Amino acid sequence: MKGALLEMKELKAEKKPFYKKFKTENFNYIYDVNTNDILRVSKPVYDIIDYIPGYEFLDDLCFTQIEKILIPTYSTIEAKECLDILMRNKKERRHLSAKRPQITSGIHSVEQVYEMMQSGLNQLIMEVTERCNLRCKYCVYSGKSRYTRAHGINDITFDTAIKAVDYFLKRAGHSHKKEKIGIIFYGGEPLLNVGILKRIVTYITTHYKDKDVFYSVITNGILLGRKSTIDFLISNNFFVTVSIDGPSHIHDRYRVCLNNKPTLKRIINNLRFIRKYNPGYYSNFFSINALMAPPFDIQAVSDFFYKNDLFTLVRERLNIRFISKKYTSFFNEYNILTGPKEIEDENNRLFSHFKDALSTGKYNELTLEKELFSKRFYDIASRRIVSLPDDYSPHGKCIPGKRKLFVDAGGDFYMCEKVNANYSIGNVNEGFNHKRILEFFQECDRIFADCNGCWALRLCDKCFNKIRIGDSFSIDRKNEFCRNSKEQILMDLLHFCEIIEKNKDAFSVFV
Ligand code: SF4
Ligand code: SF4
């Protein structure tokens, strides 16, 4: 068959449809980039797709050639079906287009950046202190993570904090979509500097009566035992995210105080106190961040969160993930050399539960697997089947100074907390550095230019943080990211189709 197909004229890349083929055990699929659709196709279409032009270039000559090639290999009925499908596509102009978008941020001048930066923010993440009262062994600020600062000693000053707040609020809340405006207090451990949180909230309630601002704090939970702190959080409807990894033999291995003492008991006592003190607040405003690190006892972690009444309502907002396998010396330092492999094995094992449960309609019986994998499949299941625009922006969700703004303890601005003191885009005294932001867009246009030929374009969650070294874009990291990303997306598409083959309504649980 292949020999026969190769007799067809070699196509130039820009004439080929924009697609990715994959197969499950029972069916053949084509992911069509231009429509974002997944097509289940017959064997002849699957075989011939590599050799036919996009529908825009299909002409009578092509059809005759295709027919000639198909007929000796496939039955006349199969060949006719294949031609009908291609003909229909040509007529309806939906699938299998050869169109490739232009990758461009559309930003070409400082003036344009300036204009764009006047509105559109809705989240200020403020590093109120670099200090932390714990020394979690895998912490990104432990000095073990490449590309991230180590624990520091600086607190944000009130003057810096309100300059950041003023700058942010002048540019926030202009959207017609009535997006909520949030200020997220971040650290280190932000409650070490709770005094400044109180002063900032008082300042906002006094000076910005017309703005509907919500507050949030991300904490290790140790200082949640102070009644004055709790009263302050309750009276300002703070959303509180607490980091807990599981039962003591899991949590206390790595989440320890400066003197290496365990921390779980204090955190749990604090949560019990708050639940008793104000049950409504506790159940509606608390969420949990949990990290899983090897050696694993997944069952114990699952029981801890799913069988413990302290988490009955809060676990709806449980965010759990594995620690990062990369760019950390954690595994060497604690002599867990098999750690990355153990993460992969556990991840695969849990994913297999997830897939089985979705395939058999038992999604609601899952525990941690839901939190670990639903988002990825939600993104595929809820993707919009709409045409790819002519111009496609290269920067993913990273639009510096739009939507999210991170201000560090020294008053420098960054596009998000993850870039962590890299690629500053301004500061509280001078505001946005529009030239620097323009350079960012130009770099994105350059480094992501080849995305226009990449089938994963619409499903890829590229971002600056994933391809940077320090504050520079890195081609090597970008290439590594692309390899891993495409592999993961292809596997996800395959699993998605395999699940649907077994249970066509599988994804209705979260769409
Ligand atoms: S509480 Fe957070 S910032 Fe502090 S050491 Fe642990 S992970 Fe790091
Ligand atoms: S995988 Fe790489 S080339 Fe493909 S869209 Fe993502 S960043 Fe671009």
Per-residue pLDDT, 8:
61
- pLDDT above 80: residue 353: yes
Mean pLDDT to the nearest integer, 45-65: 88
- What is the 459 CA–ligand 2 centroid distance (Å)? 9
Ligand 2 pocket mutation, candidates 100, 479, 486, 490, criterion most atoms within 8 A of CB: 486
Mean pLDDT to the nearest integer, 243-262: 97
3-state secondary structure labels for all residues of 365-413: HCCHHHHHHHHHHHHHHCCCCCCCCCEECCCCCCCCCCEEEEECCCCEE
- What is the 467 CA–ligand 2 centroid distance (Å)? 11
Mean pLDDT to the nearest integer, 268-280: 97
**CB burial of residue 398 (10 Å; 0-12, 13-18, 19+):** buried
The pLDDT confidence band at residue 66, using thresholds 50, 70 and 90, is confident
CA distances from 456 to 284, 486, 494 (A): 38, 6, 13
Comparing 4-8, 141-145, 325-329, 391-395, the range with the smallest average pLDDT is 4-8
In this structure, the number of other CB atoms found within 10 A of the CB of residue 259 comes to: 6
List pocket residues of ligand 2, CB cut-off 6 Å. Answer: 448, 450-451, 454, 456-457, 460, 462, 482, 485-486
The pLDDT confidence band at residue 10, using thresholds 50, 70 and 90, is low
Per-residue pLDDT, 50:
87
The pLDDT confidence band at residue 7, using thresholds 50, 70 and 90, is low
- For residue 188, is the peptide bond before it cis, meaning its omega torsion is within 30 degrees of 0? yes
Nearest ligand to the C-alpha of residue 243? 1
Nearest ligand to the C-alpha of residue 488? 2
d(CA 315, CA 310): 9
Please tell me whether the overall predicted TM-score, pTM, comes out greater than 0.75 for this model: yes
Q: Which atom of ligand 2 is nearest to 448's Cα?
A: 8
Query: In this predicted model, what pLDDT tens digit does every residue of 383-436 receive, in sequence order?
Result: 999 999 999 998 776 788 888 999 999 999 999 998 878 899 999 999 999 999
d(CA 235, CA 264): 26
Mean pLDDT to the nearest integer, 167-171: 94
CA Rg, the chain, in Å? 26
In this structure, the number of other CB atoms found within 10 A of the CB of residue 2 comes to: 8
Per-residue pLDDT, 499:
98
Instruction: Reduce the DSSP state of residue 480 to 3 states and report it.
Output: helix
Q: Across all residues in the chain, what is the average pLDDT?
A: 92
Nearest ligand to the C-alpha of residue 148? 1
Query: In this predicted model, what pLDDT tens digit does every residue of 78-121 receive, in sequence order?
Result: 888 888 888 888 888 789 999 999 999 999 999 999 999 988 89
Q: How far apart are the first and last CA of the chain?
A: 41
Per-residue pLDDT, 254:
96
Per-residue pLDDT, 325:
86
The pLDDT confidence band at residue 51, using thresholds 50, 70 and 90, is confident
Mean pLDDT to the nearest integer, 341-370: 96
Q: Atom 3, ligand 2: which residue's CA is nearest?
A: 451
The number of CA neighbours under 13 Å toward the Cβ of 101 is 25
Mean pLDDT to the nearest integer, 171-198: 88
- For residue 279, is the peptide bond before it cis, meaning its omega torsion is within 30 degrees of 0? no
Q: Atom 7, ligand 1: which residue's CA is nearest?
A: 139
Q: Pairing between strand 213-219 and 239-243? A: parallel
List pocket residues of ligand 1, CB cut-off 6 Å. Answer: 132, 134-136, 139, 141, 187-189, 220
The pLDDT confidence band at residue 174, using thresholds 50, 70 and 90, is low
Per-residue pLDDT, 301:
97
Residue with tokens 């300036």: 114
- pLDDT above 60: residue 3: no
d(CA 281, CA 391): 46
